[in-house]
Amino acid sequence: MVSTVPLEELEKHAANVYEAIVVVAKRARQINDDQKRFIEQEIGYDSSLENSSSDDLDSESEESREERQATPVKYIRMPKPTTISLEEMLTGKLDFHYAEKTEEDR
**Its pTM surpasses 0.85:** no
Query: Count of domains in the chain?
Result: 1
What ranges in 5-102 are assigned the alpha helix state H? Answer: 7-13, 17-43, 48-51, 54-59, 62-70, 81-91
Q: Is residue 105 part of a domain?
A: no
CB-CB neighbours of 14 under 10 Å: 17
The answer as to whether 37 is a domain residue is yes
Contact 27, 85 (CB under 8 A): yes
Range of the domain at 36: 7-45+56-91
Structural domain contains residue 72: yes
Residue 38 included in any domain:
yes
Residues 6+ apart with CB under 8 A from 39: 45, 76, 78
Low-confidence ranges of the chain (pLDDT < 70): 1, 46-60, 65, 68, 70-71, 106
Q: What is the reported pLDDT for 58? A: 59
Residue 82, domain member (yes or no): yes
pLDDT at 42: 84
